[in-house]
C-alpha cells in the first residue's frame, strides 16, 4: 500500500484545515457547555451525554478524512495501487456508520434538551415522535449500508458475482430523510414559544436560537447534491466534497446544539450586557391562574441570585394553587391543567439529569 502527502492537493489541504477548525470549535463549545452546567450547578443530562458522544464520533470522521487523503483521495483510481482502492472502499462502510451515529446523536441531543425545558404534554409527545423518526432514520441508514450490495464484499470488490443498488440514489434518499428530521426538530418549538407571554423581540430571539439549525439544513442540502455527483467507479477522485461535507455537517450540528446553554458563560464574560436585564415577566393579562404576590417576590429574589442558561420554561399549575404546584399535577377531576408562564429556570429549580 502506498501513502501520499495529505497536502499534495491544495483543495484537499484546504478542506482538511477547514474541518479541523470546525471540529476544534465544536470541542470548545462542548467544553463551555460543561462549564455552563457547572456555573448553574445543574446535573448532567442525556442531552449533554448525546452531545459528547456525537463529538467523539466527529473526531472519528475527521481522522478518517485525513486518512483518506493519506491513502489516495483526489488521485484517480487507476493511478493508485489496488490495495489502496480496496481500503478506500472498505473505509467508506465505516465512514458511513460513524457519520450516521454522529448525526443521530446530535438530533437526540436537541430532543433531550427539549424534554429538559418543556413540560407541556403535547410538546413532549411530539418530541418523542421526533425521537422515533430520528431512530428510524438511523435504522434505515444502517440497513442501507449492509444491504445495498449482495454479497456485502461486493462493496469493495465489484468483480464478484452479485448485485449493488445505486449508491447515489440510496445516499440521496437517506440524506433527504435526514433533512426532513432536521426540519421537524427545528420547527417543533416555534409554535409553543410563540404562545408564551413575552415581547415580540424576545420571542424572535428565542425562536432564532432554535432556528440556528436551519443553517445545518442548508449544509444537508449541499451534501445531498454532492452525493449525486460521486462516481463510485472512481471513488478516490470523486469523493472529496462528499467527504468534506460529511465532516462539516455533524461538527456544525454539535456546535449548534450547545448554543442554548451558553448564556451563563456569556453573562460571566460580559456582565455589562446582562446587568440591566431583569426577568422578562409578561405585563399582559393572563387568562389562567397567576402567581401570588408573595410567590412572585420570592422568585424575583431568586432571579438576582441566579440566571437560567435558557430563559424560559413552562410551569404547570393547579387551579387555585397560590405557589404554582408541581409540574404535571392533576386536579381533583383527574385531568391535567396547563398554564404557561415565562419565568427563569431558577424559579422552578435545577433540572434533573441522569437521576
Who contacts 173 (Cβ-Cβ below 8 Å, separation ≥6)?
A: none
Per-residue pLDDT, 273: 57
Grid cell of 107 as nine digits:
438530533
In CATH, what is the architecture of 10-268?
Answer: Up-down Bundle (1.20)
Cis peptide leading into 350, omega within 30 of 0? no
CB atoms under 10 Å from CB of 75, counted, come to 20
**What is the spatial distance between Cα 125 and Cα 102, in angstroms, rounded to a whole number?**
24
What integer pLDDT is reported at residue 272 of this predicted model? 65
Percent of the chain scoring above 70 in pLDDT: 74
Q: How far apart are CA 176 and CA 346, in angstroms?
A: 40
- Residue 276: CB partners within 8 Å, gap ≥ 6? none
Q: Rounded to whole angstroms, how far apart are CA atoms 276 and 85?
A: 62
pLDDT at 265 over 50: yes
- State which H helix or E strand residue 164 sits in: strand 163-164
Q: Where are the domains of the chain?
A: 10-268, 280-347
The answer to whether residue 217 scores a pLDDT higher than 60 is yes
Task: Answer whether 153's CB lies under 8 Å from 179's CB.
Answer: no
Query: How does pLDDT run across 193-214, given as a tens digit for each residue?
Result: 777 777 777 777 777 776 677 7
Distance CA 111, CA 108 (A): 5
Question: Cβ contacts of residue 330 below 8 Å, gap of 6+?
Answer: 318, 336
| pLDDT computed for residue 339 by the predictor | 39
Give me the torsion for CA of 208, 211, 212, 218, rounded to 10°: -140
Owner of C-alpha cell 418549538: 189
pLDDT tens-digit series, residues 81-107? 999 999 999 999 999 999 999 999 999
Which candidate, 232, 233, 229, 220, places its Cα nearest to that of 100?
220
The answer to whether residues 231 and 202 touch, using CB atoms and an 8 Å cutoff, is no
Answer yes or no: are the C-beta atoms of 345 and 333 closer than 8 Å.
Answer: no
pTM of the model: 0.76
* pLDDT tens-digit series, residues 46-84: 999 999 999 999 999 999 999 999 999 999 999 999 999
Q: Are strands 163-164 and 149-150 parallel, antiparallel or unpaired?
A: antiparallel
Give the Cα separation of 125 and 127 in Å (integer): 5
Q: What value does the CA radius of gyration of the chain take, rounded to a whole number of Å?
A: 24
Which three cell numbers mark 47?
442531552
**Residue 18 near residue 219 (C-beta atoms within 8 A):** no
Mean pLDDT of 282-302: 39
pLDDT, tens only, 316-345: 333 333 333 333 444 334 444 443 434 444
Task: Please state, rounded to an integer, the average pLDDT across all residues of the chain.
Answer: 79
SS3 at position 163: strand
- The three-state secondary structure class of 15 is helix
pLDDT surpasses 60 at 294: no
Where helices occur in 228-290 by DSSP H, the ranges are 235-238, 240-258, 263-269, 271-274
- Note the pLDDT tens digit of each residue in 161-200: 999 999 999 999 999 999 999 999 988 888 777 777 777 7
User: In sequence order, what DSSP letters do the residues of 170-219 get, joined into one string?
Assistant: HHHHHHHHHHHHHHHHHHHHHHHHHHSSS-HHHHHHHHHHHHTHHHHHHH
Contacts 24+ apart (CB under 8 A), 145-150: 145/93, 145/96, 145/97
Better-predicted residue by pLDDT, 304 or 155: 155
Amino acid at each position: 500500500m502506498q501513502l501520499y502527502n495529505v497536502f499534495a492537493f491544495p483543495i484537499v489541504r484546504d478542506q482538511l484545515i477547514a474541518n479541523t477548525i470546525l471540529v476544534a470549535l465544536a470541542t470548545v463549545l462542548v467544553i463551555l457547555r460543561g462549564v455552563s452546567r457547572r456555573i448553574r450547578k445543574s446535573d448532567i443530562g442525556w442531552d449533554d451525554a448525546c452531545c459528547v458522544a456525537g463529538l467523539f464520533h466527529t473526531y472519528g470522521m475527521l481522522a478518517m478524512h485525513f486518512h483518506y487523503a493519506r491513502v489516495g483521495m483526489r488521485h484517480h483510481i487507476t493511478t493508485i495501487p489496488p490495495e489502496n482502492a480496496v481500503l478506500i472502499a472498505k473505509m467508506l462502510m465505516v465512514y458511513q456508520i460513524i457519520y450516521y451515529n454522529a448525526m443521530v446523536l446530535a438530533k437526540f441531543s436537541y430532543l433531550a434538551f427539549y424534554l429538559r425545558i418543556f413540560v407541556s404534554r403535547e410538546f413532549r409527545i411530539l418530541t418523542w415522535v421526533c425521537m422515533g423518526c430520528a431512530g428510524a432514520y438511523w435504522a434505515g441508514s444502517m440497513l442501507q449500508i449492509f444491504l445495498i450490495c449482495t454479497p456485502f464484499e461486493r462493496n469493495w470488490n465489484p468483480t464478484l458475482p452479485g448485485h449493488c443498488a445505486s449508491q447515489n440514489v440510496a445516499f440521496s434518499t437517506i440524506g433527504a430523510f435526514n433533512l426532513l428530521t432536521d426540519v421537524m426538530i427545528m420547527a417543533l418549538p416555534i409554535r409553543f414559544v410563540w404562545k408564551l407571554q413575552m415581547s415580540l423581540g424576545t420571542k424572535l430571539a428565542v425562536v432564532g436560537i432554535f432556528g440556528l439549525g436551519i443553517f445545518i439544513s442548508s449544509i444537508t442540502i449541499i451534501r445531498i447534491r454532492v452525493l449525486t455527483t460521486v462516481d463510485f467507479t472512481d471513488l478516490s477522485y470523486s469523493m472529496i466534497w462528499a467527504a468534506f461535507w460529511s465532516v462539516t455537517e455533524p461538527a456544525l450540528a454539535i456546535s449548534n446544539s450547545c448554543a442554548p446553554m451558553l448564556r451563563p458563560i456569556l453573562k460571566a464574560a460580559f456582565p455589562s450586557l446582562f446587568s440591566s436585564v431583569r426577568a422578562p415577566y409578561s405585563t399582559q393579562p393572563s387568562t389562567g391562574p397567576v402567581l401570588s404576590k408573595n410567590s412572585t417576590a420570592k422568585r424575583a429574589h431568586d432571579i438576582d441570585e441566579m440566571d437560567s442558561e435558557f430563559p424560559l420554561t413552562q410551569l404547570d399549575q393547579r387551579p387555585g394553587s397560590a405557589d404554582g404546584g408541581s409540574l404535571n399535577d392533576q386536579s381533583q377531576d383527574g385531568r391535567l391543567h396547563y398554564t404557561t408562564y415565562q419565568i427563569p429556570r431558577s424559579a422552578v429549580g435545577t433540572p434533573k439529569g441522569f437521576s
